[in-house]
Structure 1
Amino acid sequence: MLLKWPDWKAYGRRYFREDLLAALVVSVLLIPQSIAYAMLAGLPPQVGLYASLLPLVFYAALGSSPHLGLGPVAVLALMIAQTLGQAPPGVSPSEAALVLAAEVGLILALAAALRLDALAALLSVPVLHGFETGATLSIAASQLPVLLGSPAKGFELPALLESAWASGFAWQGGAAAYGLAALLLLLAARRWLKGMAARLAPLLILLGAIALAAGSDAVSRGVPLVGALPPLHLGLALPRLDAGLWLAMLPGALLVALVGFVSSLVVAESLGRRANVRIDARAELRGLAGANLAAALSGGMPVAASFSRSVLMSDAGSRTRMTGVFIALAMGAAMLLLAGPLGLLPKAVLAATIMVAVLSGLKLGPYRDAWRYARPEALLMLTVSLLVLCWSVTAALGLGVLGSIALLLQRTARPHVALIGRVPGTEHYRNIDRHAVECLPGVLGLRIDESLLFTNARSLSDVVQLHVNAHPDTRRVVLQMSPVNAIDFSGLEALRELHDNLARQQIRLDLSEVKGPVLDRLRAGAWQGWFRGQVFLSHHQGMEAGS
């Protein structure tokens, strides 16, 4: 949190220098990225710069991570571009982006108020990785025409190929020369330079391209340039209050909010573990909500955390969230001093910057690892990637969430009930298929290995009956309940059905090692009225009773 007045003196002695230096380093990367990601989203370049000012200050006041590099993000830029395409006629992309940022902020604020930070679980690791990989490839593909000076446009591969075919695969030599040269220099810098030199390389290449474009009169040679940026003007104003526009942006805002929060939380927790800093998920919701609302009020676009910028902040020595405030100040100074020169930057150089930045995070190893570990999850990951690349972000995320739920239901629809026996010479009971154990004749020891909920409870009686059929001499069944952490009404009814089914076969049902909260739920369900067995403190006592 931001320091209060009595702490400022201590802050100046301990952290000011580290935070200021980290801010200067990150600002070097954020300036070209802010412009590039705004243009990637189909917005004017200054929108990305505005999104790197007040949003960082609001996150510093409300968030919890000292290392989160907030601002425009490549993956969100792709989602924003697709969402802006749904805006009603007569609405400019900049106006729609402000409404989108406001909706994202309000959604995140509502989620924080309702304690819905657990919604992050909706995007499983396979879905998140598949989405990020598909978005990375889609962004890189969309920037290839810009890199070569081609008029082709599109984010999805079929639309991009159709546009390129319609343009006759035309390209502009001057733009291609700038783009390919910048691409090779950026790759060489990543390969050969280390430390501060590697961090400064993108800015130096950008400045070199500006100087060359100005000296060679690139615009007269047909090289597309960013164009003149307007002067810094942070006049606060409400987004356009148009019900039709707000309704059109809402589906995209829900997805942007979910992806922005999940990806930011993953980054914050990863760096937090590295630095032994506790991350508060609700505070992250509040911080991102405040940042996006600030973007909506100050001419920006939806923002989230960038993994590359966050790692850079951590490595550069950021100690508190005041680093974000210093970054905002540095970005404001850059807009005042560099607005004119940045207008001379060739778009092909920005495209090269985007391609190198996004492709540096491309990881194909998880596909191999997932295929070895769980092929259904690997197929889900691959499907999500292909949908992002070939269809749409919305369809990919929707199918990914539904696929994750389907896999969860498939795994939990039939509770695992293990037949267990006593390890010789001990009072420990283990699965007979994995250990050499002793079993008592007439007494069936079974262990339920998961909670009894509506997703799996219906199959409980059938699973237990299979074990009973395999041991026709059974007089008593003892269910070890230690793995059961919860039981809902469906689970209670399933337990009752099992009890009555065994009773009809003259088999008594006993329970062992029932956890306190589960026993409380059973009592609340008035199970004493129908349960005729016993509850034992230990499974060994239950197995030995009456033998």
Structure 2
Amino acid sequence: MTRDPAPQGGWRTYRQQYLREDLLAALVVSVLLIPQSIAYAMLAGLPPQVGLYASLLPLMAYAALGSSPHLGLGPVAVLALVIAQTLAQAPPGVSPSEAALVLAAEVGIILALAAALRLDALAALLSVPVLHGFETGATLSIAASQLPVLLGSPAKGFELPALLESAAASGFAFQPLAAAYGLAALLLLLAARRWLRGMWARLAPLAVLLGAMALAAASDALSRGVPLVGTLPPLHLGLSLPRLDAQLWLAMLPGALMVALVGYVSSLVVAESLGRRANVRIDARAELRGLAGANMAAALSGGMPVAASFSRSVLMADAGSRTRMTGVFIAFAMGGAMLALAGPLALLPKAVLGATILVAVLSGLKLGPYRDAWRYAKPEGLLMVAVSLMVLCWSVTAALGLGVLGSIALLLQRTARPHVALLGRVPGTEHYRNVDRYEVERLPGVLALRIDESLLFTNARSLTDVVQTYLAPHPETRRVVLQMTPVNAIDFSGLEALRELHDTLARREIRLDLSEVKGPVLDRLRAGHWERWFRGRLFLSHHQGMEAQD
């Protein structure tokens, strides 16, 4: 795959080949990022300007350190849910904005340490079923939390039980005019997605926000009881350190670990998906560094934790982004928007923001993977459903814990007993296949088995029992030949299991032979001095092993 071309040429080459495409892509994406930055900051329980700040310097930091030319960085809906629940754990006397800066700093430090320690394999902690279940549950939870905002209701909460309890406590009250704003915005946004195409569809969210602000100003919506965003403080990008409070940093740490893991995994999935489409190589460690730098920049510039948005990243790719300079241009466009919209944003009805969030998050809702997972592997389908329900009804912390533990449990279940196949020769050939799947010939007195797993501590203990199960119906066996082609690794537990099998067979006067052992595996066996106890023979091919004389 090719690399991001920007670093390989000078400014003249870049200007001639990529500048126009990157500028156009930046203008398109910034139109979508403006309302999303405001909405996701408020979704996380933060002032709207925090989302705008998180869309400036973090994008530049990622452009300097990351590897994807298509990653649309900034506030993200799924992370906003985790951030909101984490900020609720802040000590008394600490404002959400101060806690968000500490949270972003910790996320940046965690990702930087992961990059330094080459822990990019952390992405494997969240399997596809867990990641999809988490994202779907978070999507539904976010959508549910915005229904009261959409209707002008005082009810609050992300989890369904808390949300219903809050709604019941308020007598399921709502503000009719606010609901009218929210429902009208919702219908307009849905209609735009259905009927508009290209640039017009991308401009629709911003147009709805501007129209709502104009209407709210003309009708004096605030005096009529419509909740508004309210007056923002002067928007200026000031650099300062997060609050240095040990109690605060400890309180934010568990949430920071979750934000870092979810943000990195989801961002890497997006980057690799778009990278394959555009034939661009994605460096997982560079993604760690890029996200670390972006979150540190957010912590120093009044922002919030950031990650990649799938919708914005796809839009960047479709709009023609060629290099990471697109992110720099987006930051400049966002800076201009901050100056232009600082005053009008105070008049924005919160119900319209709620409609924007609803449409944005529900547009990415996919239920097909549940059906596919259930058909392919029911335990993984059940895990996906369980994670979604856990997010929706309990908390993201419990959902992620369940997901990781569930994935480990399923892995252990699959590998706890090594799959061993009884082999026979396909007539007229030197090929050996499973007797349960092919018409094959078997040699009397020689038991041919194939181990279909690496021999590790998770499954090695049962190796002898599995082989003896095949020996029981064949008491005439004089030799057992193990085909080792699928075995990619043998750890110390596997070595001891192989030795136990060798000694058990020797006591029954049966010789154990091995065939087609891979070089790295054989190197490990020799390092373990297996020649001190192994009395069988080693064959280059399985056919040689079967034809050998006793």
TM-score (norm 2): 0.99
- Would you say the 8 A contact 2:6–2:323 is kept in 1? no
Residues in 2 aligned to 1:143 and 1:350: alpha-carbon distance in whole angstroms:
9
Offset from partner CA, 1:237-276 (integer Å, 9 cap, x none): 1100111100010001001000000000000000001101
Contact 1:62 1:287 in 2 (8 A): yes
Q: Which amino acid aligns with 1:508?
A: R
Does residue 439 of structure 1 match 2:439?
no
Q: 1:8-19 to 2 correspondence within 5 Å?
A: 8-19=11-22
In the alignment, which residue of structure 1 is the partner of 2:236? 233
**Which residue identity lines up with residue 40 of structure 1 in the other structure?**
L
**Letter paired with 1:278:** R
- Deviation per CA, 1:459-515: give whole Å up to 9, x if none: 100000100112111000000001111110000000000000000111000000001
Alignment counterpart, residue 116 of structure 1, candidates 108, 119, 129: 119
Cα distance, 1:232 vs. partner? 2.4
Seen in structure 2, the aligned counterparts of structure 1 residues 204 and 362 have a Cα distance that, compared at 3 Å, is same
Instruction: Specify whether residues 47 and 502 from structure 1 end up closer, same or farther in structure 2 by C-alpha distance, changes over 3 A only.
Output: same
Cα 1:440–1:15 change in 2 (3 A) is same
Confirm or deny that 1:137 pairs with 2:140: yes
Q: Which amino acid aligns with 1:443?
A: V
- Residue 416 of structure 1, CA deviation: 0.3
* Superposition deviation, residue 4 in structure 1: 6.1
2:374 aligned residue (371, 378, 382):
371
Percent identity over paired residues: 87
Correspondent of 2:72 among 69, 72, 91: 69
Q: Equivalents in 1 of 2:372, 2:335: separation in Å?
A: 44
Give the whole-Å Cα distance in 2 for the aligned partners of 1:385 and 1:276.
Answer: 33
**In structure 2, distance between residues paired with 1:241 and 1:131:** 32
Match of 1:314 in 2: 317
What does residue 188 of structure 2 align with? Answer: 185
What's the CA shift for 1:516? 0.6
What is the identity, as a one-letter code, of the residue corresponding to 1:389? L
Query: Could you tell me which amino acid in structure 1 is paired with residue 290 of structure 2?
Result: G
Please provide the CA RMSD for this pair: 1.0
Q: Give the Cα–Cα distance (whole angstroms) in 2 for the partners of residues 244 and 372 of structure 1.
A: 48
User: 1:156 maps to what in 2?
Assistant: 159
Match of 2:201 in 1: 198
1:281 paired residue number: 284
**1:515 matched residue in structure 2:** 518
Match of 1:362 in 2: 365
In the alignment, is the contact (CA less than 8 A) between 2:72 and 2:308 conserved in 1?
yes
**1:392-541 alignment runs, 5 A limit:** 392-541=395-544
Do residues 95 (structure 1) and 98 (structure 2) align? yes
In structure 1, C-alpha distance between the alignment counterparts of 2:476 and 2:299, rounded to whole Å: 72
**Structure 1 residue matching 2:405: 3-state secondary structure:** helix
SS at match of 2:489: coil
Say whether the 8 Å CA contact 2:65–2:290 is kept in structure 1: yes
The residue that corresponds to 1:218 in the other structure is 221
Partner-residue secondary structure (3-state), 1:470? coil
> Which residue is equivalent to 2:385?
382
Alignment equivalent of 1:546, drawn from 536, 545, 549: 549
Aligned-pair distance for 1:531? 0.3
CA drift of 1:5 comes to 10
Amino acid across the alignment from 2:82:
M
8 Å Cα contact 1:2/1:321 also seen in 2 = no
Offset of residue 3 of structure 1: 4.7
1:446 is displaced (CA, Å) by 0.4
- CA contact 1:174–1:223 (8 Å) conserved in 2: yes
User: After superposition, what is the alpha-carbon deviation per residue over 1:385-407, rounded to whole angstroms, capped at 9, x for unaligned?
Assistant: 00000000000000110000000
Confirm or deny: 8 A CA contact 1:2 1:322 kept in the other structure: no
Instruction: For 1:11-90, list aligned pairs within 5 A.
Output: 11-90=14-93
2:451 alignment partner AA: I
Q: In structure 2, what is the equivalent of residue 259 of structure 1?
A: 262
Q: Is residue 180–residue 352 contact of structure 1 (8 Å, CA) maintained in 2? A: yes
Amino acid at match of 1:190: R
Please state whether the residue corresponding to 1:291 is helix, strand or coil: helix
Deviation of 1:231 (Å): 2.3
For 1:104, which of 107, 111, 129 is the aligned residue? 107
Answering whether residue 271 of structure 2 is matched by residue 271 of structure 1, we say no
Q: Which amino acid is 1:285 matched to?
A: L
Query: In the alignment, residue 161 of structure 2 is paired with which amino acid?
Result: P
Shift of residue 230, structure 1, vs aligned partner = 2.1
**What per-residue deviation string (whole Å, max 9, x for no partner) do you get for residues 95-152 of structure 1?**
0000000000000000000110101000001100100110000000000000000000
Give the SS at the match of 2:449.
Answer: strand
1:450, distance to aligned residue in structure 2 (A): 1.1
Aligned to 1:303: 306
Contact 1:72 1:301 in 2 (8 A): yes
- 2:247 maps to 244
* 3-state SS, counterpart of residue 10 of structure 2: helix
Partners of 1:94 and 1:335 in 2: how far apart? Answer: 18
Q: C-alpha offsets along residues 196-241 of structure 1, whole Å, 9 cap, x if unaligned?
A: 1111111111111111001111111011111122222211111001
What amino acid is the match of 1:418? A
CA contact (8 A) 1:133 1:385 kept: yes
Report if the CA contact (8 A) 1:2-1:61 is conserved: no
- For structure 2, the residue ranges without an aligned partner over 5 or more in a row are none
Q: TM-score normalised to the size of structure 1?
A: 0.99
**Residue type matched to 2:320 in 1?**
G
Cα distance in structure 1, aligned partners of 2:286 and 2:5: 13
Q: 2: CA distance between counterparts of 1:204 and 1:236? A: 32
Mapped to 1, the partners of 2:472 and 2:121 lie a distance apart of: 42
The answer as to whether partners of 2:263 and 2:306 remain within 8 angstroms in 1 is yes
When residues 230 and 492 of structure 1 are mapped into structure 2, their CA distance, relative to the original with a 3 A threshold, is: same
Matched, 1:335 2:316: no
CA distance in 2, matches of 1:437, 1:12: 66
User: For residues 358-408 of structure 1, what are the alpha-carbon distances to aligned partners after superposition, in whole Å with 9 as ceiling and x for unaligned?
Assistant: 001111111111111111111100000000000000000001100000000
Alpha-carbon distance in structure 2 between the residues aligned to 1:515 and 1:145: 62
- What is the distance in 2 between the residues matched to 1:471 and 1:175? 80
Distance 1:91 1:230 in 2: 19
SS at match of 1:343: helix
How far apart are the structure 2 equivalents of 1:280 and 1:69? 16
